[in-house]
Structure 1
Amino acid sequence: MSYHHLSVLVHRQAEKYGDKIALKYRNYETAQWIPISWNQFSQTVRQAASAFVALGVKEQESIGIFSQNKPEWFYTDFAAFANRAITIPFYATSSPAQAQYIINDAEIRFLFVGEQYQYDAAFNVFGLCASLQQLIIFDRSVVKDPRDVSSIYFDEFMALGEGLPHNDEVEERTSRASYDDLANILYTSGTTGEPKGVMLHHSCYLEQFYAHDERLTTMTDKDVSINFLPLTHVFEKAWCYLCIHKGVQICINLIPADIQMTIKEIRPTLMCSVPRFWEKVYAGVQEKINETTGFKKTLMQDAIKIGRIHNIDYLRLGKTPPLMIHLKYKFYEKTVYQLLKKTVGIENGNFFPTAGAAVPDEINEFVHSVGINMIVGYGLTESTATVSCTLPVGYDIGSVGVIMPGVEVKIGENDEILLRGKSITKGYYKKAEATAAAFDADGWFRTGDAGYFKNGQLYLTERIKDLFKTSNGKYVAPQALETKLVIDRYIDQIAIIADQRKFVSALIVPVYGFVKEYAKEKGIEYTDMAELLQHPKIVGLFRARIDTLQQQFAHYEQIKRFTLLTEPFSMERGELTNTLKLKRSVVNRNYAEVIDKMYAE
């Protein structure tokens, strides 16, 4: 395998693959997927790189990208690398205040914005950002503010590079590109405090290419990956760079909410996702089984049972399944499993990396039982994504797998997972104190995650910062309980409350549709959602389901009281980060009265 610096990677791949398809995106007006060949990809990147010189972009200058996933994102990224510039991704959902913080912290002059929301948010803070000179707008349909005299559209930006007027300058800069150059600064939205800019150098990505080539041996240039997570997320970003390095075709899902539709149109072999995606697949199948009766129901239940014996009890442990089990499995593979995978859009699946949160054991077992090759992994922005991942044989349900080649891991004080290696960040941008605090004297990076090793595999227990201490002095890990409960079909979101309180309580966002259906079945009358969620029968339903799911927890860890909320936690109110992680301090503040009521005698 040859390894190329990101500044030339696309061009080297174009020399190898020519007119083969590199990228695809959906044209929403025609509902067609538009292919972009490696040659087109390379030419567009060269033109954009020339346009950067025309704009006056300097080497190691920071360029901002504030957009949904789009092909233009890739052009901008790789054109910046050709000029030895640094790209800084913003979440498409970032608020104007978050955008303002990053622009000022990284002293961004040129900000690429995707659609109307991102343009409006950026234009609103333009006057508050001393460094900001110009917005470049990806989407032609964005309506500019009448006061806007400096913004240009992406096609106008590209026109500056037409005929490659500054190609010599670009080539000269590229020749100076080094693995010691900074590639990205990724701002973590942080569940606590202000965002920190994680510095990732080109060497971090190179190291991950080595590690993944060694580990993911079935990934080839015949694969098709659909990108579902935002390119701001280190998991998707590092994955897409790996796909380009491998010659994998990337299909860009432009609208996050459309993934259920686009995945069926593309039927990919690869897709990175967060556990929530598989939780929804699982909930859908459970729903189908609940609706079905008679022979069909028995068949579906038996298929999952046989799949579990075949794949979990035998293949996973490297054993040969008994002949009868194997024959039954083969039958279900062509019928039940095939139909299930087709319904989701993943019948061509090679493997599906999943990370970003804990994968509930039930989901993990179910996905493997029906023959979906899910790889569970663990990583951080600071580790350029993957630290560990499960192997096809010998993985333990509940673990996050075996450590990647090239990464050193040890368990420190308070069971904290410590990391060392070339893929680990060198620190936080312009934050010397935070950087110093993140590393110990021997250069080990403190992850803030607690864990342990068993059978050579890494297990996560909790976020150290998230450990709650009840007023009785007992420690409670909220994530363990949340992960267990969120698989319930009636529960959409949950926040455990316990810190400095005398017992554990919870705020629960129900799946409103299912609650309404249940009310209809039971003949419960109500005027609005608030009244329905306080109805004794509904409260009783949730009580029973919570008690069943939390049996394995110690008495002091169990939820004693809970409140069903009439609206979901939201990013707008600051209760969720851009990666949909719970900001506990904000939830506690926003729901202070509701919480206090649960603890009133």
Structure 2
Amino acid sequence: MVNQLTSLVRKQAAKYGNREAFSHKDYTKNQWVPTSWNRFSEQVSYMAQAMVLLGIREQENISTYTQNKPEGFIVDFAAFDNRAVVVPLYPTSSLDQIEYIINEAEVRFLFVGGQVQYDNAIVALRECPTLEKLILFDPAIKRTADDTTSVYFDDLLEQGRQAGADVAAEVERRRQAGSPDDLATLIYTSGTTGEPKGVMLAHSNYDEAMRIHLQRLVTCSDSDVSLCFLPLTHVFERAWSYYCLTVGMRIAINVDPKDIQNTICEVRPTIMCSVPRFWEKVYAAVQDKLSKTKGVTRRLAERACGISRRRNIDCLRAGKRPPMWLEWQYRFYDKFVFSKIRRAVGVENGNIFPTAGAPLSDTINEFLHICGINIVYGYGLSETTATVSCFDRTGYEFGTVGSLMPDIQVKLGENNEILVKGKTVMKGYYRKPEETARVFTKDGWFRTGDAGKINDEGALALTERLKDLFKTSNGKYIAPQALETRLGEDKYIDQVAVIGDQRKYVTAIIIPAFEALKEYAAQKHIQYRNLEDLVKNQKIHALISERIDALQKNFARFEQIKRFTLLPRAFSMEKGELTNTLKIRRSVINLLYKEEIEAMYA
């Protein structure tokens, strides 16, 4: 049986021919380079044959260690042709992190994106017993003098092109031998607590994910352009990109994560997956601009928001047609206010913007909908092939993560833990039978580790991450993410780590939004030499304290932050404070800032 992903590229090439499948920016020429479906299919065939020449076996684990690049898609689908399993590594992963995964998955062949990845990979080649060869995507990668085994991707592709009929026949035999139970990917979790775990996702998981998304997302079509922005290592972007290819929509691959603002304005996508962090920054920038308006302009903006709320939230969300008088007013304000906001962000052509991976503030979510930015907020995990629930076209409710996807079952277990059952749920954790047994109930429900509730309309709401939940020494339970999400709305606050496990009261380590803080300091004539000096200033401390008090007033007193420490630099992946998916590693933060934390309880 030929699996859906295995036949996908060939089928779409027959349908679309020389139509663009995806594009990427060539920074050496400063231009976007398209790849047609025919060319994509041809490259997949050549690489599939090259994999046979390399000696890659059916259901063998091969790994990619790269930023988002066209070559990543080619490797994925060539691997599927060979019934091989793709193990993506985050391009930001450290040497220790990649060695752990390479060793556990017994990877022999590692596809490497750029120089930074190569510099780690060449060390791993010497240290990891199973690793045999590196395949280098970027021809500009400079190899070490003693590297005699690595091969450049283009050279390998050419070997595949020249392969004989017997090799092509072997690829076809493997393709036809495919089974829905074949593993497609091992997606390693970010490891916020403990070591990372390899989530085993079969072709049947992806086939089901494609089916239910086609059923739910009825506004998506092959006329859409999706910007591939999140790392393809992340199950959200990976599953979404497979969905885009299934629909036939064009994908614009963002090769350089640091260039995302320019990329959005160049591509003007109709669709883009993102985490809430991206929209938090958009919201902060818009609010900052609105806060500086006065007089007629200010009143115009307030009036515009009121009209748009009545049209987008009260009417369209409820599935009602807006009255003509309201629609005409909205069109006026949309032209002179909201269209300018969308154009500034680069999303004026927007269809939907799927957002998940962390909590998104209701305030920000609602404001974006008022601006005509259709956020499809959802919830899912690597273990569920991404989406469990998401906003529908109508009837979505703020305060929830939307309604369940078709044929996905959810119920609440002990401590209101969200339990999931369905064909998108993983087979288990790779080589971790005890961990696998721990996350499944006896009757086969997957334990998500998230607590939630289901309202009368069937929408799912998240209340806390059970692993993050802590108890103060007074016996009060605190859900830190709720506070962190609320504080993240503020234009002067960039990152927050709430502290308080077995402590008398709640505190926080806070990273200010430094550019906004510098601007405030200039307005108030606050003198400082550097960021260390700035965050220690009493006027700055008073400003942040005032903002925190306003933001947390709706929380119970025992939940509120009593003291906080401002740091002069952001949390980073390099220091281990953030995972590759930008989640806080609380244990690392507690260790690194032990002195600062103890001082808040002195």
Q: TM range, normalised to the smaller chain?
A: over 0.9
**How far apart are residue 521 of structure 1 and its match?**
1.3
Question: Map of 1:133-532 to 2, 5 A cutoff?
Answer: 133-165=132-164, 166-454=167-455, 455-532=457-534
1:76 equivalenced with 2:78 (yes/no)? no
Pick from 587, 590, 596: which aligns with 1:588? 590
Query: What TM-score do the two structures reach when normalised by structure 1?
Result: 0.98
* In structure 2, C-alpha distance between the alignment counterparts of 1:559 and 1:195, rounded to whole Å: 31
* Structure 2: stretches of 5+ with no match in the other structure: none
Q: Any idea what SS the aligned residue of 1:466 has? A: coil
**How far apart are residue 301 of structure 1 and its match?**
2.7
Counterpart code for 1:525: Q
**How far apart are residue 325 of structure 1 and its match?**
3.0
* In structure 2, C-alpha distance between the alignment counterparts of 1:480 and 1:449, rounded to whole Å: 13
**How far apart are residue 318 of structure 1 and its match?**
2.8
* In structure 2, C-alpha distance between the alignment counterparts of 1:309 and 1:506, rounded to whole Å: 37
Q: Do 2:82 and 2:171's aligned partners in 1 also have CA atoms closer than 8 Å?
A: yes
**How far apart are residue 202 of structure 1 and its match?**
0.1
Q: Do 1:112 and 1:137's aligned partners in 2 also have CA atoms closer than 8 Å?
A: yes
Counterpart code for 1:214: Q
**How far apart are residue 580 of structure 1 and its match?**
0.5
Q: Any idea what SS the aligned residue of 2:4 has? A: coil
**How far apart are residue 486 of structure 1 and its match?**
0.6
- Between the two proteins, the alignment pairs up a number of residues equal to 598
Counterpart code for 1:475: Y
* In structure 2, C-alpha distance between the alignment counterparts of 1:7 and 1:77, rounded to whole Å: 10
Q: Any idea what SS the aligned residue of 2:495 has? A: strand
Q: For residues 184-235 of structure 1, what are the alpha-carbon distances to aligned partners after superposition, in whole Å with 9 as ceiling and x for unaligned?
A: 0011111000110000000000001110111011111111111000000000
Q: Any idea what SS the aligned residue of 1:160 has? A: helix
Q: Do 2:3 and 2:178's aligned partners in 1 also have CA atoms closer than 8 Å?
A: no
Q: For residues 298-335 of structure 1, what are the alpha-carbon distances to aligned partners after superposition, in whole Å with 9 as ceiling and x for unaligned?
A: 22232222212221123222344454433211112222
Q: Do 1:46 and 1:164's aligned partners in 2 also have CA atoms closer than 8 Å?
A: no
The equivalent of 2:580 in structure 1 is 578
Residue identity (%): 56
* In structure 2, C-alpha distance between the alignment counterparts of 1:369 and 1:34, rounded to whole Å: 35
* In structure 1, C-alpha distance between the alignment counterparts of 2:516 and 2:345, rounded to whole Å: 21
Q: Any idea what SS the aligned residue of 1:161 has? A: helix
**How far apart are residue 572 of structure 1 and its match?**
1.0
* In structure 2, C-alpha distance between the alignment counterparts of 1:70 and 1:517, rounded to whole Å: 37
* In structure 1, C-alpha distance between the alignment counterparts of 2:117 and 2:146, rounded to whole Å: 17
**How far apart are residue 143 of structure 1 and its match?**
0.7
Q: For residues 60-108 of structure 1, what are the alpha-carbon distances to aligned partners after superposition, in whole Å with 9 as ceiling and x for unaligned?
A: 1111000000000000010011000000000000000000001000000
The equivalent of 2:42 in structure 1 is 43
Q: Do 2:3 and 2:203's aligned partners in 1 also have CA atoms closer than 8 Å?
A: no
* Structure 1: stretches of 5+ with no match in the other structure: none
Tell me whether 530-539 or 255-264 shows the greater mean CA deviation: 530-539
* In structure 2, C-alpha distance between the alignment counterparts of 1:37 and 1:459, rounded to whole Å: 41
* In structure 1, C-alpha distance between the alignment counterparts of 2:294 and 2:554, rounded to whole Å: 31
Q: Do 1:314 and 1:321's aligned partners in 2 also have CA atoms closer than 8 Å?
A: yes
Q: Do 1:289 and 1:301's aligned partners in 2 also have CA atoms closer than 8 Å?
A: no
User: Could you list the runs of 4 or more consecutive aligned residues of structure 1 that deviate by over 4 angstroms after TM superposition?
Assistant: none
Q: Do 1:207 and 1:406's aligned partners in 2 also have CA atoms closer than 8 Å?
A: no
Q: Do 1:470 and 1:501's aligned partners in 2 also have CA atoms closer than 8 Å?
A: yes
Tell me whether 334-343 or 183-192 shows the greater mean CA deviation: 334-343
Q: Any idea what SS the aligned residue of 2:486 has? A: helix
* In structure 1, C-alpha distance between the alignment counterparts of 2:259 and 2:585, rounded to whole Å: 26
**How far apart are residue 351 of structure 1 and its match?**
0.7
**How far apart are residue 559 of structure 1 and its match?**
0.3
* In structure 1, C-alpha distance between the alignment counterparts of 2:282 and 2:301, rounded to whole Å: 15
Q: Any idea what SS the aligned residue of 1:443 has? A: coil
Query: What TM-score do the two structures reach when normalised by structure 2?
Result: 0.98
Counterpart code for 1:184: T
